[in-house]
Chains A and B, each alone.
Chain A
């Protein structure tokens, strides 16, 4: 991606956090994501009802003191379903990207450092994967593997590694020509050691930005796939799936579809804000490193 940071940046965690919080939008993003994470993680405590508990006498009722957001088409409490559904949406987003990142980093390191035919092969394969529209890719894999949220997660991972590979490889190409790598090699360090101990830490800057932005992308993908009907199976909830069902009752119970949509949007906005903030915080020029 043309976003590659063109100089090597060292990261100090506490300084980074402080810098990030100074960036207004990133701070807002951080707050949003923490709130969402807490709400969904504490669903067992916060949810007033069992998300699967049906109440067929109370179908599609609007907001009321008993059901703050109303009920769905079989009488389940929407607030509880959204809280639990958030667990699925957020967890899928985070976990898939973590795994994809690991795969991508390994491939990127290997391709970038070893170069030559290996690099060419890895990059052409990466390019090929990136030719296919992500949504279609994930749909096909998920459809091929069968229904269920786990298969969606696998599908997202199978696509997600490509972005990381590109970014890491780009950084490795920059870093590996630096004198200190030369010195390490002369001192007898093995390629693996060099890759892990010397090169990897210096690729962290753009990596962090990509992770943050990708999590937002993964949340969007999962919700799109669930919206289309593949993915979480009833009776489990996820924000995308609830939105789809809610769409059928748009006039009767607008909250059924609007609230999950809002939640997805907020989560993704937060990830993008944080990603932007990280990018600005890690840009050596904006930090005033060369005055």
Chain B
């Protein structure tokens, strides 16, 4: 959806995305009716607790959801004049790594242990840009350099297990940015790393993004990262977007009870030290057994009758701020 006042179409336009998973105990709607967009050069964050559907949404954009057990059952994803959900898989494969790249969380395993990191960085270059291995070699080494891997020519032939977690993630970034994508999707890029490394890596990512005017979809549960790096924020809960606003607005004028609760439960430097942290009561809902009406309602201080019966749609608060809530807080 273009926002009022915006003249160009967004780079990526996700509408009503719904992803279901079939399990032995029933069908889970991991994402339901998710809509947001992304403009060139913007950093948009998808924020939420574990299990809220943000990673699933990100993976759905590149159709990386394993089927079975998952399935994209509804929605449209517009990119470059096409609906990615309706294109043949070959088109998507051509886009992956080239126009839209993904940087994953780093458990030990996102890099292939039996191939050198050099070969893995080189692979998208060879695949999408048609560079021969030798031509791509120089470029790959330059990429490793740009992510601050020291002695890149030598380390090119090393294996993933010879790198630390932080360095592996830099390699992932190099791999993702190699073909100068229009969009990079970063799924919890720093969650598995030490706090000090996290900062370095995010700066690196931002630098890459700024330099090439790439758009970034940043998936995270860390509100601190969001505050510093994101231009716009979408807060997700139980598979839905519950609030969408600029980063400033989210922090200054949070309007959805969940967002308010999140911000109150996180320590902030601009508040008195003695102010108490207020946790959100209750547990995230069981995706197999969602409560009737608004999914947040059992934990919501402001819940009214209608909240118990009807699932609120997204509504505008102003030009750039939307919430999915019946109540005006």
Residues of A within 8 A of B24 (CB): 288
Q: Which residue of B lies closest to A22 (CB)?
A: B24
Across the A-B interface, give the 3 residue pairs with the lowest CB-CB distance, nearest first: A288-B24, A288-B23, A291-B23
Contacts of A291 in B (CB 8 A): 23
Segment 16-45 of B: residues with Cβ below 8 Å from A:
23-24
CA distance A288 to B288 in the complex (A): 15
Query: A263-291: which residues lie under 8 A (CB-CB) from chain B?
Result: 288, 291
Residues of A contacting B23 in the complex (Cβ-Cβ under 8 angstroms): 288, 291
A288 to B23, alpha carbons, bound, how many Å? Answer: 9
Give residues of chain B (43-75) contacting chain A, Cβ–Cβ below 8 Å.
Answer: none
Q: How many B residues face the partner with a CB closer than 8 A?
A: 2
Nearest A-chain residue to B28, judged by Cβ: A291
Number of residues in A with C-beta < 8 Å to the partner?
2
Residues of chain B whose beta carbon lies under 8 Å from any beta carbon of chain A: 23-24
- The distance from the CB of B4 to the nearest CB of chain A, in whole angstroms, is 41
Residues of B within 8 A of A288 (CB): 23-24
Question: Chain A's nearest CB lies how many Å from the CB of B327?
Answer: 33
State the A residues within 8 Å of B (CB). Answer: 288, 291
Q: In the bound complex, what is the Cα–Cα distance between A291 and B28 (angstroms)?
A: 12
Cα-based distance from A291 to B56 in the complex (angstroms): 13
Closest-CB distance, B78 to chain A (whole angstroms): 31
Cα(A291)–Cα(B287), bound, Å: 12
A286 to chain B, nearest CB (A): 11
B27 to chain A, nearest CB (A): 14
Closest CB-CB distance, B189 to chain A, in whole Å? 22
3 CB contacts below 8 A, A to B, read A288-B23, A288-B24, A291-B23
Taking the closest CB of chain A, its distance from the CB of B30, in whole angstroms, is 11
CA distance A291 to B288 in the complex (A): 13
Q: State how many angstroms separate the Cβ of A285 from the closest Cβ of chain B.
A: 13
Give CA–CA (A288, B26) in the complex, Å: 13
- Complex CA gap A291/B50 in Å reads 12
- How distant is B51 from chain A, measured CB to nearest CB, in Å? 9
* Alpha-carbon separation in the docked complex, A243 to B23 (Å): 48
Closest to B51 in A: A291
Min CB distance B115 to A, Å, is: 22
Instruction: Tell me the bound Cα distance from A232 to B24 in angstroms.
Output: 50
Taking the closest CB of chain A, its distance from the CB of B55, in whole angstroms, is 13
Q: How far is the CB of A278 from chain B (nearest CB, A)?
A: 19
A288 to B24, CA, bound (A): 9
State the Cβ distance, A251 to closest chain B Cβ, in Å: 52
Q: Give min CB distance, A21 to chain B, whole Å.
A: 15
Q: B94 → chain A, closest Cβ, in Å?
A: 32
Closest to A287 in B: B24
Minimum CB distance partner of A291 in chain B: B23
Closest chain B CB from A81 CB (angstroms)? 47
Query: Bound state CA distance, A291 and B23, in angstroms?
Result: 10
Q: How far is the CA of A288 from the CA of B21 in the complex (A)?
A: 13
- Give bound CA distance, A291 to B286, whole Å: 13
- A17, B260: Cα distance in complex, Å: 48
Bound CA–CA A291/B24 (angstroms)? 12
Min C-beta distance of A258 to chain B, whole Å = 42
A183 CB, min distance to chain B CBs, angstroms: 28
Nearest Cβ on chain A to B188's Cβ, whole angstroms: 17
When chains A and B are docked, how far (Å) is the Cα of A291 from the Cα of B70? 13
CA distance A103 to B24 in the complex (A): 40
A291 to B69, CA, bound (A): 12
Q: B161 to nearest A CB, angstroms?
A: 18
B69 nearest CB across to chain A (Å): 10
- State the CA gap A66–B24 with chains docked (Å): 52
* A165 to B24 CA separation, bound complex (whole angstroms): 36
A288 and B69 alpha carbons, distance in the complex (Å)? 12
CB distance from B52 to the nearest CB of A (A): 15
Distance in angstroms between the alpha carbons of A76 and B23 in the assembled complex: 57
**Nearest CB on B from A162, distance (A):** 31
Select from chain A the residue with minimum beta-carbon distance to B24: A288
| Nearest CB of chain B from residue A113's CB, rounded to whole Å | 29
| Residue in chain A with minimal CB distance to B25 | A288
B53 to chain A, nearest CB (A): 14
